[in-house]
Amino acid sequence: PTAEGQAYLQTARRILADLDDAEQQIADQGAPRGRLRISAALSHGRLCVVPLLGDFAEAYPHILVDIALTDTIVDVAAGQADVAIRFGPLVDSLLTARKLGESRRVIVAAPDYLARRGTPTKPEDLHRHNCLNFNFRRVEPVWPFRVDGVDMALVVTGNIEANNGETLGQLAAAGVGIARVGAFSVVDDIAAGRLVPLFEAYNPGDVEHIHALFVGGSNTPARVRVFVDFLAERLRG
């Protein structure tokens, strides 16, 4: 194209982009609407996020909720999701992060397992036990403890690994071994007596922060804003 043609194309693109922004702003002035793509971790999504979606859908009937439960990290900045709910340290500096809560870590075993194998009372006792671990660790599984005010890390071993805490909790409840998981994934099993918390006196205050990640700014769709606000209120409550 000629120089004049190039200038025309650039101007046309700017006009179209401005029109898109204007349409988005007009749409946002009314009720939030459109498809809302959510990515959440398997266990936390199934146990903590999915049960809230009915109330959200009732409050915002014009939003189409599209949720994917996966422990695979999606690229929100590249448009693979509108909102991602993630655990642990934040690495996406280009995204806006809203803290939703914290996940406390607990070590649990079934009464049947403890009756057969004995109840460990000190961290080093775990060397004689079957410790169930996550399979996405790049190094040896390490569990943190605090002994006499000093933080320590213990390498543990076991014969079964899984990619989510809910599965590890189910294995522990079945008497397979001892698991270290997010408390949210085993709270019902503990309440029912199917699992027993261990090493509470040695817990180092081990928590993972939970955030909603999304592309922020003045053009953030209303459907994203209201969903993040909804989650922050309900999960903290």
Question: Contact at 8 Å (CB) between 168 and 179?
Answer: yes
Same topology, domains 3-102+209-236 and 104-207? Answer is yes
Give yes or no for residue 229 having a pLDDT over 90: yes
User: Hey, which of 12-21, 133-142, 167-176 has the most confident mean pLDDT?
Assistant: 167-176
CATH class of 104-207: alpha beta
Instruction: Give the rounded percent of residues in the chain with a pLDDT score beyond 70.
Output: 92
Give yes or no for residue 207 having a pLDDT over 80: yes
Give yes or no for residue 12 having a pLDDT over 90: no
The pLDDT of residue 24 is 64
Ordered by start, the domain boundaries in the chain are: 3-102+209-236, 104-207
pTM for this model (two decimals): 0.76
Burial of residue 108 (CB within 10 Å: 0-12, 13-18, 19+) is buried
Query: Which CATH number does the domain 3-102+209-236 belong to among 3.60.150.10, 3.30.70.100, 1.20.140.10, 3.40.190.10?
Result: 3.40.190.10
For residue 100, what are the contacts with CB-CB under 8 A and spacing of at least 6?
Answer: 85, 210, 211, 212, 231, 232, 235, 236
Q: Which residue has the tokens 């793509």?
A: 37
Give yes or no for residue 177 having a pLDDT over 90: yes
SS3 content of the chain, % helix, strand, coil (to 5): 40, 30, 30
Q: How far apart are CA 186 and CA 233, in angstroms?
A: 22
Q: Where does the pLDDT of residue 138 fall: very low under 50, low under 70, confident under 90, or very high at 90 and above?
A: low
The pLDDT of residue 26 is 59
165-191 residues labelled b (16+ CB within 10 A) or e (exposed): bbbbbbbbbebbbbbbbbbbbbeebbe
